Structure 1
Amino acid sequence: MYPTFSKKFVETTSIDDDGYPIYRRKDDGKVITKTGVDLDNRYVVPHNRFLLLRYGAHINVEWCNQSRSIKYLFKYVNKGNDRITATFYKTANENAEEDEVDEVSMYYNCRYISPCEAAWRIFGYNIHYRDPSVIRLGFHLPNEQSVIFKDHENLDEVARQASVKESIFLGWFEANKEYQEARSLTYAEFPTKFVWKAQERVWAPRKSHSVIGRVFFVPPGSGEIYYLRLFLNFVRGPISYEEIKTVDDVLYETFRDACYARGLLDDDKEYIDAIEEASS
């Protein structure tokens, strides 16, 4: 959907109540005529002159600061190929009632690739990429970590495996015990300095690559695990669940009580932010 033009003359750039930019459009009296229509600054589409010259194409550029815009872009580049629905049929004849209907041959869900995209894929160019890499960080309440097993495995034997008591989140506790540098990092900051070794199931100091961490989202109505996630944005270098729930040398019974003691739930701001984020 393209924005409507013309816009209003504006002396300075500002941000409206919805977070969208209102760009400066000076009334400098300059007018050009295109196909009999007079155009001034109110009709200028936001653009980047370097990109226009580099690619020789119409490229609109808008500044955004909303998660819904970013989500739209990532959804668009990951949505896959364009698809078309094709239906095959033949005209009716006198013996139409005797004709057999083959629904499979009459309906095809086809993939469409344009010539430019086909050439791009033939040459093996990247369709898209993300930089830096994003590590998704799971977490869980005590003794509630996920356990993955196959259908044919015996549950009692699976429960006795050592890996059941290991997870990325519990490995974070162990790394905080071993590395002094880890004690200064939050859970989301941890992958910037350390890397998870899946086979050894331990965190080790990072030697290369730029990586950022992203903690899984939890709805506010999820109970204690929501308050745990809220704490993970602030606590640095804990070695146990009890240390997370300790505020000013006082060990609280629940994560919710600890959040109140730390002042994270003095008002409804956290809930309002979560609702606004979910609505977008």
Structure 2
Amino acid sequence: MLDRDGYPIYRRRDNGRTIKKNVIDLDSRYVVPHNRYLLMKYRAHINVEWCNQSRSIKYLFKYVNKGNDRVTVEFYNSTVDESTGKEIDEIKMYYDCRYISPCEAAWRIFSFDIQFRNPSVERLSFHLPNEQSIIFDDGDNVDSIGNRPTVSQSMFTAWFASNLKYEDARQLTYSEIPRKFVWKKDKREWHPRQRNFAIGRIFYVPPKCDELFYLRCLLNLVRGPRSLEEIKFVDGKQYMSFRDACYARGLIEDNKEYVDAILEASLWATVYSLRKLFVTLLISSSMSKPEIVWEAVWIHLAEDAEY
């Protein structure tokens, strides 16, 4: 049975059986919820509950991925330097230090796995024409960087090359390509996968990125393009921008792109952040009909109102 807030109500009957603890008679109503099988197997107090609230799932996900504990330490010295006669003030020097508990220190000393994920997740980068990221060292010559054979190659452009080379790749979208192909960083190519599979996740970009945002929308639908121009090809017509191609496919009609952006963010963002996003869209005058967007997403923006 669940209460009005969705929390479980445990049944602890008074069956007449009692036990004396510190001169106090305790019956079954004082028993802490637990799982007998897990308690005996792992010899620890463990209770399993069905997570039936989106807020609880969101909280657990954020808690698991919150990162390491950290502490900010401040060093300063207000004494006077005898050689120069100037006062030394280092109050603005901050060091971000990390706290390691004994259990974590022992875990790392024995080289145990810190994390494990199965199946693996491949983060898929994408970019507009000639806007791919180029990594180089400070001492590299600018001319040599521009003359590199791989300067125009990226994970995104290599996807076009794989669609030219492999028939199976033409049946997949960009996010589906890791299922049957694996990215070889040394060769900067997509190769057919020999075993297992991976899940593709395209980098998130906000709607204010304009063409980059519309390109991301198209990448979830278009299969097997061999160039960026083919992504803008819809129903036998070549469009000049990714935004126009999205309109032709009905992706951003009636402010649909803003509704989808808020719905997507509601899966991981807090309600406060969602409201802030909606206000930002209002201030920027991005939405042509804000009332339509409000009617579609208001339940997510007011999720914490009753609390």
Using structure 2 for the length normalisation, give the TM-score.
0.65
Residue 86 of structure 1 contacts residue 109 of structure 1 at CA under 8 Å; is this kept in 2? no
Quote the RMSD (CA, aligned, Å).
3.7
Equivalents in 2 of 1:266, 1:154: separation in Å? 48
Matched, 1:253 2:243: no
Offset at 1:60? 5.0
Describe the superposition over 1:251-275 as per-residue Cα deviations: whole angstroms up to 9, x where unpaired.
1111001001101112334323423
Is 1:210 matched up with 2:193? Answer: no
Letter in 1 for 2:257: E
| Cα distance in structure 1, aligned partners of 2:254 and 2:36 | 46
Gap change, CA 1:141 and 1:50, over 3 Å in 2: farther
> Could you give the per-residue CA deviations for residues 51-81 of structure 1, whole angstroms, max 9, x where no partner exists?
44432223454526567336414423xx235
- 1:263 to 1:39, Cα distance in 2 relative to 1, 3 A: farther
1:156 to 1:121, Cα distance in 2 relative to 1, 3 A: closer
Q: Match for residue 297 of structure 2? A: none
Q: Work out whether 1:192 is the aligned partner of 2:179.
A: yes
Alpha-carbon distance, 1:248 to partner: 0.6
User: CA–CA distance in 1 between the matches of 2:58 and 2:201?
Assistant: 17
Looking at structure 1, the residues matched to 154 and 98 of structure 2 have their Cα atoms a distance apart, in angstroms, of 42
Unaligned runs of 5+ in 1: 1-5, 11-15, 17-21, 88-102
- Measured in 1, the distance between the counterparts of 2:59 and 2:256 equals 23
More displaced stretch, 171-180 vs 120-129: 120-129
Higher relative contact order (CA 8 A, sep 6+): 1
Aligned to 2:207: 220
Question: Are positions 1:166 and 2:149 aligned together?
Answer: no
Correspondence list, 1:237-252, <5 A: 237-252=224-239
Q: Which amino acid aligns with 2:213?
A: Y
Could you give the per-residue CA deviations for residues 25-71 of structure 1, whole angstroms, max 9, x where no partner exists?
58x7834789678876xx986x6554444322234545265673364
CA shift, 1:147, in A, is: 1.5
Say whether residues 1:142 and 2:132 are aligned partners: no
CA shift, 1:117, in A, is 4.4
2:101 aligned partner: 113
- Please report how far the alpha carbon of residue 160 of structure 1 lies from its aligned counterpart in structure 2 after TM superposition: 2.2
State percent identity of aligned pairs.
Answer: 44
CA apart distance, 1:234? 0.9
Pick one of 62, 73, 77 that aligns with 1:72: 62
Does 2:45 match 1:57? yes
Cα displacement (A) at 1:233: 0.8
| Structure 1 range deviating more: 263-272 or 229-238 | 263-272
Aligned length: 240
Give the counterpart letter for 1:159 in structure 2: G
Distance of aligned partners of 1:202 and 1:7 in 2 relative to their CA distance in 1, 3 Å threshold: closer
Is the CA contact 2:68–2:98 (under 8 Å) kept in the aligned structure 1?
no
**Structure 2 unaligned blocks of 5 or more:** 76-90, 271-307
Partner of 1:234: 221
Separation in structure 1 between the aligned mates of residue 237 and residue 70 of structure 2, nearest angstrom: 58
In the other structure, the counterpart of 1:263 is 250
* Separation in structure 1 between the aligned mates of residue 96 and residue 174 of structure 2, nearest angstrom: 48
Is the 1:245–1:255 contact (alpha carbons within 8 Å) kept by the matching residues of 2? yes
Determine if the alignment matches structure 1 residue 157 to structure 2 residue 144.
yes
Letter in 2 for 1:141: L
Q: Is the 8 A contact 2:70 2:96 kept in 1?
A: no
**What TM-score, normalized to structure 1?**
0.70
Amino acid of the structure 2 residue aligned with 1:72: K
Per the alignment, do residues 60 and 81 of structure 1 end up closer, same or farther by CA in structure 2, a change over 3 Å counting? farther
- Distance in 2 (CA, whole Å) between partners of 1:152 and 1:109 is 30
* Letter matched to residue 167 of structure 2: Q
The separation in 2 between residues aligned to 1:70 and 1:189, in whole angstroms, is 27
Matched-pair contact (CA < 8 Å) for 1:48–1:61: no
* Secondary structure of 1:191 counterpart: helix
CA shift, 1:215, in A, is 0.5
**Cα shift at 1:242:** 1.4
How far off its partner does 1:138 sit? 0.5
SS of 1:165's equivalent in the other structure is: coil
